[in-house]
Chains A and B, each alone.
Chain A
Amino acid sequence: MATQIKSKAKMNKPSGPDWNALLVKVGSHQDKAAFGALFSHFGPLLKGFLLKGGGVEPEQAEELVQETMIKVWRKAPSYAPTQAAASTWMYTIARNTRIDWLRKHAKKNHQTDELVAEDLFDENEESSPFTALIQTRNASNIREHLNSLPQEQLQVLTLMYFQGKSGQEVADELAIPLGTVKSRVRLALQKLKLKISPDGEEQVVYAS
C-alpha cells in the first residue's frame, strides 16, 4: 500500500542540479542534454510514483513516464520558473497524463475522449499572483513537516496523490467515513501550513 515515503535521511539530501534552469533550457533551446538530465532524474521518480499508486503494470508505468516526458518537452516553452518549481510542474503534467490514460483505457470510444485533461487543467493557470513566494515557503514547510505527520493523515494524503483518487474513493478503500478522510486531509494541510479553501471544509458548494 502506498503509505510510505522516503526516510528522513534521504529527504535531507543536498540539492542537486537546478532542475528549474534545465527545464527552461529545454523550453528555450530544445536542449536535449538538459532533457536527458531531467528524464534521468524525474523518470525513475515518476515511475515509482505511478507504481505506488497501483493499478498499472511496470510497462504501463513506463509508457506513462514516456508520455509525460514527451509532454514536458512539448510544453517546456511555456514553463515559467517563477510560477512553479520543476517538480510541481512535472507533477501536474504526470497527473494529467494519468487521468487521460485512465479515461482512455476505461471507456473506449467514449465521446469525451476528445477532451483531454490539459484542456481542463491549465498548469499555468493553477498558479496565483503569489505563487513565486508561496512556492518557496510551501515547499520548505512541506519538506519540514511531511515526516512528522501522523501516519493516518499521511496515509490518506499519499493514497489520494499516488493513486489520483478523491477523498470519497479513499474513504471507500479504507472503509472509513468520508468525514474522517476530510478531517485528516484538513489537519494534514494545516500541519504542512498549506492554505485551505476560503470556505473551510464543511460547506459543500460543488456537490457532484
Chain B
Amino acid sequence: MIDGEIILYLVLIFSALTVTGLLLKEAKGYEHLMNYIPWLSRISFALLMFDILLLAYYFITSDFTIMYVWQYSSLSLPLSYRISAVLAGQSGTLLFWSFVIYFASIWIAETHRWHNSIVRKTQIVTILCGMFFVVLTIMESPFSTIYAVNPELPATFVPADGNGLNPLLINPWMVAHPPLVFIAYGFATIPFAAAIVNLLTGDARWESIARPWSRITWVFLTLAIAVGGLWAYLVLGWGGFWAWDPVETSSLIPWITLTAYLHASSGYRKNKGTFTTGAPLLAIVSMLMIVYAALVTRSGIFESVHAFGDSSSGTMLIVFMIISLLAGGIPVVKRFFFEEDYPGENIDSSSVKGICSTSTLYYLTTVLFVILAFTSFWGITFPALIQQIEGVKVGVGTEFFNIWGYPAIISLLILTGYCLHREDNITSRKMALIVTVSATILFAFIDIDPAFHVMDHTNPFWTAQPPLYKLIGSVSLLSLFPPILYVLAVTIQRIVSDLRSATLSSRALARRTGVNIIHMGMVLILFGAVMSASFTSTIGASVPTGQIGDYVELEGGYGLKITDYRIEGGPGDRITDVKQNPSAYPVAGITGTVSDIQRAGIFLIFKLNDGSDSIWIASKDVEISPGEEVSVSGSIMHDFESSSTGQIYDYILFTENVVPAKSEDETSWKVYIEVYKNGKVMGNGMAEYIQYKQGDATHPMVDRSLTKDVYAIFQGSKSGNIPLTIMIKPFVNEVWIGVIMFTLGMILILGSELYFKREVHSDKLLNTISKEYQKEGK
C-alpha cells in the first residue's frame, strides 16, 4: 500500500528545495538555478495532487482500514457523497487547502513563465504558507490507519462498514460548500503573500499580482457563504439562512475585510501614493481572519454545526497568525508612522479636494468596512474570551450584531450612493446627498410595525435592554430605504449613461457594468435580509392523521391541506403491534418481504412479512416480485372482502406508494402540503423528516417566488398528529438574486481584465511600473 503520509513528507522536502532555490536566485542572482526550480515546484504540486486523488480513491473503494474513511463514509453512501466526504472532516480539508495553495503558487509561476522577480518573491511566501498547511495535514493525518489509532486491533481486522456521513451533510449544497470555502481560503494566500512581499521589500508591483486572485477569492467566498446559508435554510429547518452563529459569522469577517481590500487596492491602483499601508494591511488581515475562521470551526474554543471536535491544529493556527502578524505588522507600523503619503493624493481627475475628495471617501469606505468587520469579530470573540478567562457565560444574540452593525451599514450605503453618483455639477451631487441623509434621519422615527426596528420590539428582551442598545435599537428600519433607493437610482443612472456612451471601450464598459451590478446586488441582499427577518409570519399547526385530505382552517386567514402522508424505510411499525391495535395506527408504515402476489382488478394484492407477522397489502399495479424488500404506508381495513378475488382479508393495508426498502438505518416521514391564504393556494410541496443511524435531518418544504417563500417545517411525528410550522418569508429570494449579481458582476470585471490579459500581465507593464516606482525614489 502507498503511504499518503510519506508523500506529504516528500512534498515538504521538494518545497524546501524550491524555496531555498528561489531565495538564492533572488539574493545571489544564480541564473542557472532556474533550470531546476520550476521542476522542483512542479513535482511538489504533482505529489500533493496525487495525495488528494489517493484519499479520494480510498473513499471510492471504501477502504475502511483508513481511519478517516471509516469515520466519514459507509457502504450505503452514493458515490458522489463518498467523494465529497473527502472534505467532511478536518484532516481532509487541510490536505485540500494545502493543495489549493500549491495550485495557486504553480499557476502564477507558470503564467509568468518563471521570469518575474515579484512573482518569485510572492511564490516564496506562498510556498512557505503551503508548507505550513502540509505540516498541519501531517499532524492530523487523513491517512492514518485504524491500526495506528487503535493499537489493540488485530492486523487482520477489517471493518465491514464505515461510521457514515453526518446526515446533515447529505445534501447537494453540502457537496458544493466545502470546496468553495477551501478554494477561497487557498486563493487568499496569493494577495497575502504579495502584500507581505510589498511590506518587506517595498515592491509596488505586488498589486497586479494580487488583483485577479483577490477578486476570484471574493467570488468563491461569496458563494461559499451563500451556499452555507442556503444549506442552513433547506436542511437545518432553523427557518432562516443566517443565525449569527460563530461559524457563519467567522466566515463573513474575511469577506468584509476582503471587500475593504478590493476598495483600498482600487484606490492604490489609481494612485500608487495612496493606501500604501491600508491595502497590504487589509490583504494580510483577510488571510488572518480566514485562519481565525478555521480556528473557530475546529479549535474547540467555539463549537457549532461544524462539530469537528478538538484538535491540536488550533495551536498551530495561532502560531501562524502570530508569525504573519509580525511579518506584516512591523513594516506596516514603520510605514504608517515614519513614511509620508504622496502629496498629490487624489485618485481621480475631479477637482474636489479635502474631505469630499474621492480618495478620502474611499478611505472612509475602507475604515467603515473595518469597523463592520471588527463588530462581527468582537461579537464572536469576547464571549469566548470572557468564558476562558472568567468562566462566565455571556449572551450574544442576533440583536448584538444588528445593533452594532447598523450604523456602519447605513453610513456605507449613503457613502456608496455619494461615491457612485456621477454628476458634473457638484451642487446637485451634494443636494442628492443632503436629501438622502435627511430622509434617512426622518424615516428613523417612523414606526410602522413593532418588529420593523433595528431591534425587534416584540423580542421579549427588548424592555430589559441597556439604554445604549435601546437608543440604536429603536431606530426604524424604514431608515434603510432612502439609502437603498439612493444607491439603486445612482447605479441605474450609471448603467444607462455607460450604455449610451460612445467613447467607452468595451473593456471599460464591462468593468463598469460589473461594478454597478455588484453594488445593486448589495442593496438587494440588504433589502431581502431585512424584510425576511422582520416580516416573517409563523403559523403553528397540528393536523390529526384522520384529517388527511381535509382543509384545515388556521389563524390569520391561513389554511392547510395535507394531501398525502408517507412513512418510508426503516424498521417501520411492527405488524403484530398494528394488528393488535389498528386504531392506534391511522397511518401505518411497514417494511417487509413480498410474497403471495395476486391481481384483483386494478389492484395488486400481496403479503408483506416483517419477521413479527405478515399482513395483506393492496396497492395500485406496480412492478414487484416475491422476495423483494419494500416499504409501504397507508390505512388498515379489517375483514375486507374483495369482489375480484372473492377472498376475505383479515387485515389489509391500502397504500398508494410501494417503494424499495431503504436500509434499516434510515426512516423518512414525508408530508405533502398545500398552504392556503383566504381560501386560495399560496404554496405547496413536500416537507420531510429523516432519521438516520447517526442522527436526523429536517428538509422543510420551500415554495419559492419573487415576493415570498412559503416554508413549512416538519420535525417528525410519533403520535396521531402531524405537527407543522408554516412560515411566510417575504423577499428571501432577493438575497440569492443579490448573490448571483455579486458573482456575475465580479465575473464581468475579471473578464474585462482577461480580455486584455496580455497587456495587464505582461512583464513589460510590470517593468514599467517598477521603473516608475524607482524613479519616484520610494
Q: Answer whether A and B are interacting partners.
A: no
Which residue numbers of B lie inside 8 Å of A, CB to CB?
none
- Residues of A whose CB lies within 8 Å of any CB of B are none
